Amino acid sequence: MFRTLHPMPIVLKPSEPSLPGSMLATLLFSVSVFTLLYVGFVTQRYALSYLREQLEATVGGGDSGMGHA
């Protein structure tokens, strides 16, 4: 049903992908950069959380006037 509306696989074909090489390279590059950016953001968020915990432990656990979301 609806075989004319849904194209066949282009990138994840079991045989050779029919996507042009430049488009495939761009796709893989974009996915890689997005993944690295995501990992970088998660790492920075973890580091910020760790530093905040260290600051609260040093200050004595008192509220520093900053709201915690």
pLDDT at 65: 57
Res. 1: pLDDT tops 60: no
C-alpha distances in angstroms, 40 versus 9, 27, 30? 32, 20, 15
Structure confidence by residue, pLDDT tens digits, 24-48: 899 999 999 999 999 999 999 999 9
pLDDT at 54: 92
- State phi, psi for 55 to the nearest 5 degrees: -65, -45
- Joined together, the tokens standing for residue 65 give 């006037």
- Joined together, the tokens standing for residue 8 give 């066949």
pLDDT at 21: 84
- Residue of higher predicted confidence among 25 and 63: 25
pLDDT at 9: 74
Res. 52: pLDDT tops 60: yes
